[in-house]
A and B are shown apart, each in its own frame.
Chain A
């Protein structure tokens, strides 16, 4: 294998991993605050549809990204209101969000199937982009990939070094204690869920404005669910999410590699790979966690309301 091909594989791996990275960062944040939002898939889809429609109508990618983020936050608020304020079962409510988001995005996007726009172009960063092997993968991407890197760094710093990160974790570990200490549990949880909505919306924008600049029904193709598994894989730790996203990105482009070597395998069978990898990784992680204790935030998914 020559250097060029290796560079291209790394490049594709980072690109494919980017939406997973974004969604998983958001999902991790809300899970760290104790909220299990299984609606990631629905939020990505709504973001992707709204982003594409706005970019198409306003003929500006910027509007598209903005619309995707806002729509992601709006639908995440639906979830937050029902799951947090109305104290519903979070598993069922997350599923409802995915079903609703799938329906809403298909409905909104129906008139835009087959339309095309010019998506985000790659922007090469001078000097850094010329680094052999990794230069192309890390420094010759489009703006949304760089934005994802920046957001990753921001989440990493917030979770590890700031008071806010500490509060979020306290709320997720033990909301009663956090409440007794005077922290606004509800506000933190709402904020975390909305952040998740923004990230999923952004991931949607990445799919419909950069990765494949078009809208098609179900464009998220299970990425919301894979991202949720990715959070488990990462044991709710930010730095591992980046590695995981790239690993899953690699699994998704493995078929390019196999085709490059001349293997004749049905594309439909190869399309199963990311899902199979997800299951394998889940099994391995659960096996490890059984031996080392669970890493999940302690109050994850449990309804909570402020006691009088």
Chain B
């Protein structure tokens, strides 16, 4: 088998690659389950189908999709411009910390303004956290991958400090948790007895917004150009630094809102393990979703499902819940491997080297 460069990138493979990656992940998953002495197909059913086989399951999927989609919306714009913001996790956590602090302050407040203030505080906190990375990148040229990762660890420690210290529930049993949030500070749920809240509409609305921005505005054009060629963008007179600021701040705000969707939604208080790695999973969402709004919607459903599947597998098969991370990692690995087929194709032959067409 030999790898040969295609004359031009294959659009079909671009869309087929995520499906191929999913298929390979399912096959590997079945093998893994068999290896662990579990029925392969039955376990796959438990992981991928059973969690969403009823109405409650579907609403739980929407609960998971909300933060994933919000984080992914911001990251999509960043990654399109090749700004590697790995910090959605930290922006989420810092958003949760500040949003939570504001929520606790507003425990006795009533009024239509309470929720908007809480959401805004979360968004602003996420924005500030991303702003640090933007400052370090534009002012000092410090690699944004490393700075955003470091900010993730710093944010997690700040949250730990918060729930062990000033934000700890004074009436709790000395657990590192905040008090339960007052009911009027919680996001209204869509249906009684289900946990999915109005935050899903915020996520879908923002998805629509970036769709319009990407396809209908000069800004969308600018960031595509910047992603493809930094030099071309500079020649065209785009202000790269301004764009970096804009994209990182927007992305941070989205992650901050994602945090509120969790803290003031299904979780209802501040706890040490608030984010189940949504900020990292959102990176996979963006790649799986091909940085396209419709794609990331579908991909966030798939990644959301891996969380539900992990829980279901733990209950049903007695396997650790962390199998979720294993499936997430496999998905991204297979996707990147399959992406080879976008620009290259496999042709039979024994020659190991890659043939380049002279175009």
Contacts and interface: CB of A to CB of B under 8 A. Distances in A.
A293 B90 CA distance: 31
6 contacts: A99-B325, A99-B328, A221-B153, A222-B150, A282-B142, A287-B140
A278 B146 CA distance: 9
Interface stretch (B177-185, B204-212, B316-324): B316-324
Contacts of B101: none
A272 B136 CA distance: 18
Given A91-B84, A106-B325, A269 B337 contact: no
Given A103-B324, A279-B142, A279-B146, 13 more contacts: A93-B333, A99-B283, A100-B330, A102-B329, A103-B327, A107-B323, A268-B161, A268-B165, A269-B157, A282-B136, A283-B140, A283-B142, A286-B140
Given A100-B326, A103-B322, A282 B146 contact: yes
Provide the main secondary structure of the chain B interface: helix
A268 B141 contact: no
Could you say which of A221, A266, A268, A290 has the most chain B C-beta atoms within 10 Å of its C-beta?
Answer: A268
B59 interface: no
B154 interface: yes
B287 A107 contact: no
A160 B358 CA distance: 39
Contact of B329 (A92, A103, A225): A103
Could you say which of B150, B160, B328 has the most chain A C-beta atoms within 10 Å of its C-beta?
Answer: B150
A103 B327 CA distance: 8
Given A86-B340, A269-B161, A96 B320 contact: no
Contacts of A92: 287, 332, 336
B298 interface: no
B284 interface: yes
B333 A100 contact: yes
A38 B145 contact: yes
Contacts of A106: 320, 322, 325
Nearest to B314: A110
Contacts of B150: 222, 225-226, 229, 275-276, 278-279
Nearest to A229: B146
B149 interface: yes
A110 B322 contact: yes
Contacts of B323: 103, 107
B243 to A, nearest CB: 19
Interface in A281-303: 282-283, 286-287, 290
Could you say which of B142, B143, B320 has the most chain A C-beta atoms within 10 Å of its C-beta?
Answer: B142
Interface string B332-357: 11001101100110000000011110
Interface residues of B, number: 49
B149 A222 contact: yes
B121 to A, nearest CB: 22
Contacts of A93: 333, 336
A110 B320 contact: yes
Interface in B139-193: 140-143, 145-147, 149-151, 153-154, 157-158, 160-161, 164-165
Contact of B145 (A42, A91, A103, A268): A91
Nearest to A101: B329
Interface of B: 3, 84, 86, 136, 140-143, 145-147, 149-151, 153-154, 157-158, 160-161, 164-165, 280, 283-284, 287, 319-320, 322-330, 332-333, 336-337, 339-340, 343-344, 353-356
For the complex of A and B, 8 pairs with smallest distance between CB atoms? A103-B325, A100-B329, A110-B320, A106-B322, A268-B161, A96-B332, A103-B326, A88-B336
Contacts of B157: 268-269, 271-272, 275
A275 B141 contact: no
A117 interface: no
A97 B329 CA distance: 7
A69 interface: no
Provide the main secondary structure of the chain A interface: helix
A263 to B, nearest CB: 15
A228 interface: yes
A107 B161 contact: no
A89 to B, nearest CB: 7
A125 interface: no
Interface in A1-45: 38, 42
B161 A88 contact: no
Nearest to A81: B337
A78 B336 CA distance: 11
A307 B330 contact: no
Given A99-B280, A99-B329, A106-B320, A275 B154 contact: yes
A295 to B, nearest CB: 13
B329 A279 contact: no
A189 to B, nearest CB: 15
A104 to B, nearest CB: 6
Nearest to A87: B340
A162 interface: no
Could you say which of A81, A217, A286 has the most chain B C-beta atoms within 10 Å of its C-beta?
Answer: A286
A308 interface: yes
Contact of A306 (B164, B333, B343, B353): B353
B334 to A, nearest CB: 9
B253 to A, nearest CB: 21
A240 interface: no
A110 B326 CA distance: 13
A49 to B, nearest CB: 11
Nearest to A228: B146
Contacts of B146: 225, 228-229, 232, 278-279, 282
